[in-house]
Amino acid sequence: MQEHASALLISDLHLTPSMPLTAQRFFDFVEKETNQVDAVFILGDLFEYWVGDDAGARSPFQQEVLRALTNLSSKTKTYYIHGNRDFLIGDQFISKSGMTLLPDPSKVMIAGDEWVISHGDALCTNDLGYQVFRRWVRKPWLQKLFLRLPLQWRRGIAQTLRSNSTAKYDRATRYTPEMARFKGDVTLMACANLMGSYGSERLIHGHTHLPARHHESMGNKEWQRWVLSDWDLDHPETVLPKASALRIDTNGVRYIDLVKSS
């Protein structure tokens, strides 16, 4: 396992041309904040959605993000883990970006400690509908079939999936907030199983948009769980501006608020 003296971890930026301030903060992050660390880990959902590397190659916005990633990985070792919205990012994009793709989950060494890192969606095991959906869309044969569809169809399917997901979330938070919390978070059991199978005491994930540090235990197993924040600087009328990274170095672990320092 490669050792990294220090690292920054981010996830869930959901980059899209319709969120220009969030995208600009990512470009500035690459320029300004990543120079002092040994590694950057992007734990999924960097993009709002991804329907194939060929689509990325035709999108000026995705090419701009690609240039930022290439610049980032030329100065700092950069790792990527797929999210639930951009799991179709393929070898072509990864190799152009200079990043290293890691499986979800992975164990990495940062500042002398072992950490398990994951996007986090697979840990939301109370959301049975989503887990069934996830198992299907992660099947290589279905992905191959999807990637052969005309680009417009793929975009249409992705946009339908996104708007269903957003509508489902809005309905649940309005009418059944407890159920939304129950389904929208990771479960203790899934985390315990993961920590047990990796023999680890430290977990970092994103996806839930519930940034916090937790101390958890099950039986005689204990672990700390750090949750990354999503980023949104484009909807101040509905959401407080948010963007942060987790920094790990010999001084410990801490969140860096990228809204205040923008």
For residues 249 and 229, give the distance between their C-alpha atoms in angstroms, rounded to a whole number.
19
Q: By the criterion CB under 6 A, which residues form the site for ligand LP5?
A: 49, 51, 84-85, 88, 121, 124, 127, 129-130, 133, 137, 142-143, 146, 157-158, 161-162, 164-165, 168-169, 184
Regarding 229 and contact with Mn ion (CB under 5 A), the answer is no
Smaller CB separation from Mn ion, 4 or 12: 12
Shortest gap between Cβ of 120 and ligand LP5 (angstroms)?
Answer: 8
Torsion, Cα 254 14 236 212, to 10 degrees, reads -30
Shortest gap between Cβ of 160 and ligand LP5 (angstroms)?
Answer: 8
Q: Tell me the window of 108-116, 151-159, 184-192, 206-214 that interacts with Mn ion (CB under 5 A).
A: 206-214
- Decide: residue 150, CB within 10 A, 0-12 exposed, 13-18 middle, 19+ buried: exposed
Q: Which does 127 bind (CB under 5 to 8 A by kind): Mn ion, ligand LP5, none?
A: ligand LP5
Smaller CB separation from ligand LP5, 182 or 255: 182
CB atoms closer than 10 angstroms to residue 68:
19
Smaller CB separation from ligand LP5, 119 or 247: 119
Q: In sequence order, which residues have a C-beta less than 8 Å from that of residue 258 and are 6 or more positions away?
A: 25, 29, 33, 231, 243, 244, 245
The β-bridge partners of 4 are 110
Regarding 84 and contact with Mn ion (CB under 5 A), the answer is yes
CB atoms closer than 10 angstroms to residue 33:
18
Smaller CB separation from Mn ion, 59 or 165: 165
Sequence letter at residue 252? G
Smaller CB separation from ligand LP5, 33 or 121: 121
The pair of structure tokens assigned to 139 is 């099947």
Size of the site for Mn ion (CB under 5 A): 4
Smaller CB separation from Mn ion, 22 or 84: 84
Shortest gap between Cβ of 71 and ligand LP5 (angstroms)?
Answer: 26
Report the run of H or E that residue 42 belongs to, with start and end.
strand 39-42
Regarding 185 and contact with Mn ion (CB under 5 A), the answer is no
What count of Cα atoms within 13 Å lies in the side-chain half-sphere of residue 136?
Answer: 7
Q: Which does 146 bind (CB under 5 to 8 A by kind): Mn ion, ligand LP5, none?
A: ligand LP5
Place of tokens 């204990």: 222
Regarding 184 and contact with Mn ion (CB under 5 A), the answer is no
Binding site for Mn ion (CB under 5 A): 45, 83-84, 207
